[in-house]
Amino acid sequence: MVTSIIRRGVNSRVRKQAERGFSLLEVVISMAVLTVGLVSLLGVFGLAMASTQTSQQDMIAKQLANEALESVVTARNTSQIHWDDVQNVGAPCSGSAGTCGLFVTAATSIYKAGADGIFGTTDDSIAGMQTLTEPGPDGIFGTADDLSIPLTGYKRTILISPVVDSNNNVVSSLRGINITVQYSTTQTRLPKTYVLSSFISQYQ
């Protein structure tokens, strides 16, 4: 009888300890851990939103660099320009003592291709600023309500340099091309930069 009463008392004490629940300190610590996790998640979410908003400008910069490179390669393939002209303005000519090169060395605004049809050359400023055309409210490209967006926030630099071999000798039939597009976005204080590096050969 006494043993059963003692057992019953012990069992009720164990049951009360098991049913006690969380203390206030445990709840506060768990809330703090949860808050830190949610705040870091919000930071990642904000970064993703900012990069989504600048994705169109990033794509435009990439396209401007690609069109400049394709313009140079096409001019070389069609023999529109001589190999000595595939250099920056003032570069030495290979066959004579004068200077050659068509491409402006400084960062320039995004102009349409000039009379020679090549982007980044000295005659581009006469052709006027290049614009981006988007479909208008009707959503159809090529209609009267299309929007023309000026590319005023972009600058492009085309640098063409000689390539050297392992013995530090200049490879006369190969040149390196670095096209840099610099542009500003509303999300960043400093301008962003897209760089396209490639090589061009004298031969097709």
pTM of model > 0.75: no
Q: Point out the least confidently predicted range of 13-22, 108-117, 182-191.
A: 13-22
pLDDT at residue 65 in the model: 94
Could you give the dihedral angle defined by the CA atoms of residues 198, 151, 153 and 61, in that order, rounded to the nearest 10 degrees? -30
Q: Which 3-state string (H, E, C) describes 57-119?
A: HHHHHHHHHHHHHHHHHHHHHCCCCCHHHCCECCEECCCCCCEECCECCCCEECECCCCCCCC
Residues 6+ apart with CB under 8 A from 131: 148, 149, 150, 151
- Tell me: pLDDT of 146 over 80: yes
135 pLDDT more than 60: yes
Collapsing DSSP to helix, strand or coil, 161 comes out as strand
**Token output for 78:** 């069609």
Q: What is the rounded end-to-end Cα distance, in angstroms, of the chain? A: 106
∠ Cα 79 155 132 (to 5°): 80
Single-letter amino acid, residue 42: L
The mean predicted confidence, pLDDT, of the chain is 83
Predicted confidence at residue 190, as pLDDT, reads 83
Phi, psi of 141 (to 5 degrees): -80, 135
Higher pLDDT, 193 or 18: 193
What pLDDT score does 160 carry?
92
pLDDT of residue 9: 57
Q: Which residues contact 62 (CB under 8 A, 6 or more apart)?
A: 181, 194, 196
Angle between helices 55-77 and 24-53 (to 10 degrees): 30
